Amino acid sequence: MSRHYHSEHHRNDRIGWLRASVLGANDGIISTACLMLGVAAANADRSELLVAGVAALVAGAMSMAAGEYVSVSSQSDTEQADLERERVELRDQPAAEQRELASIYTARGVAPELAMQVAQQLMAHDALSAHARDELGIHDTSAAQPVQAAIASALTFSAGAALPLVTALIAPPSMLIASLTATSLLFLIALGMLAAKAGGAPLLRAAVRVGFWGALAMGVTAGIGKLFGTVV
HEC letters along 120-143: HHHHHHHHHHHHHHHCCCCCCCCC
pLDDT computed for residue 159 by the predictor: 92
What pLDDT band is residue 231 in, cutting at 50, 70 and 90? very low
User: Is residue 56 within 8 Å of 35, Cβ to Cβ?
Assistant: yes
Compute the residue count for the chain.
232
One-letter identity of residue 18: L
**pLDDT digits over 116-166, tens only?**
888 888 788 887 787 778 777 776 655 567 888 788 888 999 999 999 999
Per-chain mean pLDDT for the chain: 80
User: Is residue 134 within 8 Å of 103, Cβ to Cβ?
Assistant: no
Ordered by start, the domain boundaries in the chain are 22-222
**pLDDT digits over 155-166, tens only?**
999 999 999 999
Report how far residue 116's alpha carbon sits from residue 108's, in angstroms, rounded to the nearest whole number: 13
**pLDDT digits over 62-93, tens only?**
988 898 888 888 877 888 887 888 788 888 88
Report how far residue 14's alpha carbon sits from residue 25's, in angstroms, rounded to the nearest whole number: 16
What pLDDT band is residue 10 in, cutting at 50, 70 and 90? very low
pLDDT computed for residue 162 by the predictor: 93
- In terms of Cβ atoms closer than 10 Å to its own Cβ (0-12, 13-18, 19+), residue 64 is buried
pLDDT computed for residue 2 by the predictor: 45
Report how far residue 65's alpha carbon sits from residue 198's, in angstroms, rounded to the nearest whole number: 23
One-letter identity of residue 17: W
**pLDDT digits over 19-28, tens only?**
667 778 888 9
11 DSSP assignment: S
The CA-atom distances, in angstroms, between 163 and each of 64, 79, 186, 191, 209 are 17, 37, 11, 12, 20
Determine the average pLDDT of the residues in 204-212: 85
